[in-house]
Chain A
Amino acid sequence: MTAVLQKLSAFFRRVPFNREKAHQAQHPFWVIVRKETMDQINSRRFIILLGLMLLTAIASLYTAMSSLQSAISEDTSTSFVFLKLFTATDGTLPPFITFISLLGPIIGIALGFDAVNSERSRGTLSRLLAQPISRDYIINAKFVASLSIISMMVITLGLLMFGMGILLTGIPPTPEEFWRIFFFLLVSIVYIGVWLNLAIMFSVKFKQSATSALSGLAVWLFFSLFFTMLVNIIVQSTMPTQVTDVNQLISYQSFVQNLLRISPSQLFSEATTTLLVPTIRTLGPVTVEQASYALAGPLPLGQSLLLVWPQLTCLVAEACLIFGLSYVLFMKQEVRSRL
């Protein structure tokens, strides 16, 4: 058994080496990316994360299957059965989208928290910089490698849900459902990317990888636990005592909603819920005027995307901004070789 494992690991080590040899003329940036990717994949961390995601997929499929029957019979107006696999729950376990919004940050933080400071503490960073490559190749390559692993993970997970869903329900997804799930996976990648960038930023900022990991987790905990409490406190203190006008109430409501949207997980859950539940027509409060003569029905995919476009924009922009920040921090940092 151990012999087999050794052979396997030897095989895995050999393959990239051979490939590296074969692509001798490859751009140094992609060489670093490849190296980083291999390092990540071979680490125990990756196996743990993959196992976690697998468990997530199986658990959420289980809950979805047990509640799919009632979810379909409740909602006869739409026939998006396949999407129900991602959103349906019987109450014992959260659905798939909640799992992703909860565990996605952990994956991002886990893949990025020691990106730079581990190299630094091992003293390999200065050696790397001694090579004739641009300095930003290192941070860019680390980001690209981690993001590609995340993409691979999320897409694998999505395909797993697809396959198991078809196997268990016997219903193939419609093109509309396929594209909705595709966009959902894309948003998930961007969302995890935000947390990855945050973790990379901390890894640039803090010398100790434990500190950066903890600060990343602290931010995650803050947004998933304390942020809503904080917003509640703000709501209680600023709530208008006298409501004289519907518009006043609506504007206050949207103020509260915008406060909540500071949290990336709020943006993510709004975006994914709208994508996976086509009957959601608006995310804000609906006035009586807007609801009059409205017919219940699913939105086309384009309209759903347009509805959550601000959320998507925000997520992408956040990811880019945090990356830019960590980029600047890294570029301006002094790197000394350890003697």
Chain B
Amino acid sequence: MQNYLIEIFGSEIVAYILATVPVLAFIVLFVLFAVWLERKVSAHMQDRLGPMRVGWHGVLQTLADFLKLLQKEDIIATANDKALFNIAPYVVFVTTLATFTMLPFTSIFIGSNADVGIFFVLAFSGAVVAGILMAGWASNNKYSLYGSLRSAAQIVSYEIPTALVVLTMIMLYGTMSLGEITIAQTSHFWNWGIFGGPELGLAKILLVPFMFVAFIILFISTLAESNRTPFDLPESESELVAGFNTEYSGIKFSMFFLSEFANMFLIGSILVIFFFGGYNSPFGYLGNLLGIEWLIPIEQLLWFLGKGMFFVFVDMWLRWTLPRVRVDQLMTICWKYLIPYAFFNLLIVGLILLI
């Protein structure tokens, strides 16, 4: 994508900026949809209808809410640290946006097909902590401070099992580029990561259970990293009012909101890329069948979004079913269970691959 843009504009900077535009547009549209979906999913789980008035079954409700948030007064209390308070939401949002540029949406569109793709994603999703700490500290509010400190502890802790599983997967595919990982899983669904990766043989059969364990660990730890129930301690409503974003209003609040929902899709797509073949179709393409080449990327995009949305739905499902864990239990899950299991898994997968 960038090479094409560089050719057109002749300038790398312009090309890189333009390459993020579709990603940004996607995030905004996705969040508008996901917020509506969350409200509908929660409503139907709870015997309610949810938004019904604005547009068909309330589809425009989030747009209306977004417009309302835009018009709200941007309140900055005198006791706030103004500079940090103003920067924090943008730091959080920009880091989330940056991770999205690494995602291969289709075989022809990937914001940046960097060789260190997955490490870039890990690094930047860890950098969210900086923004959250800024927000908590600058708010000068005890609840915000508690929320942000919890968040820092949580994200940093859960980076470790995430990184261990990612290492496992890098060993399997032999590359860190998300684009190439996806390409490795093409053509048949039994080439997907969850079924032991692309190569046929004894190793593949042995790998399947360990891939499943890796998938579960990655799912739990990324869920915790994105601060969703049952791990939504940083903004646990019943204890900390709203956690680190208590003091925010208007568009700055919506920036936090935007990045939270974007993160949900991000973790879904990371799972999809590692274990469920990324944008690859499990059954082959209609475009190939009909001989229409431009149909293939569209199908790939739909597969990618569909698989990603499935995990977003699972997140919502969990959120509206489970209670919240306590802060010490959260750490216990991470340090006593996930990390040892992830380590063990890494070791076994390494041994299997050596054989």
On whether the two chains bind one another, the answer is no
